[in-house]
Amino acid sequence: MLDLDLLRSFVSVVDTGGFTRAGERVHRTQSTVSQQIRRLEDQLGYPLLDRTGKQATPTEAGERLVSYARRILALAQEAREAVAQPASDGLVRLGLPEDFAAYRLAELLSGFARSRPALRLDVRCGLSVAMRAALERGELDLALYKRDAGGHGGIAAWPEQLRWVTSREHPLAFDRDPLPLVMSEQGCLYRARMIHAAETAGRSWHIAYVSPNMTGIQAAVSAGLGVSILPEVAILPSHRALDHADGFPVITNTEVALVAAPHPSPATRRLAELLTAFCGERDLRA
């Protein structure tokens, strides 16, 4: 029988990339987490983490174990909640980026709400800057939002790789004068990066298309109305990714962070675990 505490520490190391941050997450010291991973490796007879670099990365055996570990931990939590049968789960207010895995994430949230009939789940979508501000004002209990790569704080974070994109059928060159840009509204991280990159390269530009949602931006790029910056997960077959060889400067990457308000409720913590597993099983960079 695999020890749940050992599995929880192992998953935390995989999610955070290191023993210190994993220890903060499971409320253990770095040395204790390291010892727990050793015990788990001894039980299974295989090394689970590669510790040669700055970060601890899962070995092939570790990659195979992590998805099972997430399922075991989720099932154990579900069993505890089913036995407890609380009369009311209260309210959980969740903030999400508008463009983040909308369909699959909606399915996850629907399943979570159905499993807790007494819970009121309020979901708000919008720009990451708005979700972060709402969390800080106490208007949200939990939020997924995008921030500069390497940010601090939160339950977990996953890197996002950004690319310049143009239309595959109607491509635009970087020497277009002025360069037409397709972007979201003010406050969007991608918008600020796009303008900064163009001005740093000494290029004149103009805003050719503004959309409050990702589908509008994708459609405008596909139609050849301008170039834009998108995360790799949002690049469509009708787009062509651009790089330095095309004259486009490198864009600094972002990350998706999961952050909870202070003193989260049991229902909020459970939803945070589900979102962590959801994001951990996705590659947000490709």
Residues written for the chain: 286
71-231-235-168 Cα dihedral, nearest 10 degrees: -160
Angle at which helix 19-26 crosses helix 30-44, to 10 degrees, equals: 100
**Per CATH, which fold does 162-252 belong to?**
D-Maltodextrin-Binding Protein; domain 2 (3.40.190)
Q: Where are the domains of the chain?
A: 4-81, 86-154+255-280, 162-252
213-228 average pLDDT score: 94
Q: Is residue 284 classed as helix, strand or coil in its secondary structure?
A: coil
Per-residue pLDDT tens for 137-174?
Answer: 999 999 999 998 888 889 999 888 899 999 999 998 87
- Tell how strand 119-126 and strand 90-97 pair up: parallel
Q: Could you tell me if 284 and 256 are in contact, meaning their C-beta atoms sit under 8 angstroms apart?
A: yes
Per-residue pLDDT tens for 180-208?
Answer: 999 998 888 899 889 988 888 888 899 99
Per-residue pLDDT tens for 19-68?
Answer: 888 888 888 898 999 999 999 999 999 999 988 767 888 899 988 898 88
- Closest Cα to residue 6, out of 221, 22, 146, 16? 22
Distance CA 62, CA 44 (A): 10
- Fold match between 4-81 and 162-252? no
User: Is 90 exceeded by the pLDDT of residue 222?
Assistant: yes
Task: Name the superfamily (CATH) of residues 86-154+255-280.
Answer: Periplasmic binding protein-like II (3.40.190.10)
The whole-model pTM stands at: 0.65
Distance CA 241, CA 247 (A): 12
Write the CA distances from 162 to 128, 207, 254, integer angstroms: 16, 19, 7
Per-residue confidence band for 86, with pLDDT thresholds at 50, 70 and 90: low
Residue 255 pairs in a beta bridge with: 147, 159
Q: At residue 20, what are phi and psi to the nearest 5 degrees?
A: -65, -50
Per-residue confidence band for 102, with pLDDT thresholds at 50, 70 and 90: low
User: Is 90 exceeded by the pLDDT of residue 251?
Assistant: no
Q: What is the pLDDT of residue 282?
A: 60
- Does the domain spanning 4-81 belong to CATH 1.10.10.10? yes
